[in-house]
A = this chain, B = another copy of it.
């Protein structure tokens, strides 16, 4: 069994030189939001959920992106409502959110 049941990594990369990057699309703010929400819902901790920032996941052009392991499911999102749906559907109920899948 995985140490975390759902380990979530937000690409929070900041590219320079004007290249597309997740952080220009609000990644860090929405990662902070997700982390707080997961904690408030009592979902965080070993055997449960962990939300992390990560360096560049190298899919910035399709992003902002987040990946849920060990499932290996990748999502994109645009706002808090999308993040809420990923939390409620996938992290709480184990159902993949098809409309946000990359």
Contact = CB atoms under 8 A, between A and B. Distances in A.
Interface stretch (A16-24, A46-54, A79-87, A90-98): A46-54
A77 interface: no
A66 to B, nearest CB: 12
Q: How many copies does the complex hold?
A: 2
Given A72-B69, A72-B70, A74-B3, A58 B54 contact: no
A58 B50 contact: yes
Nearest to A10: B55
Given A3-B72, A72-B2, A56 B67 contact: no
A58 B7 CA distance: 12
Contacts of A55: 52-54
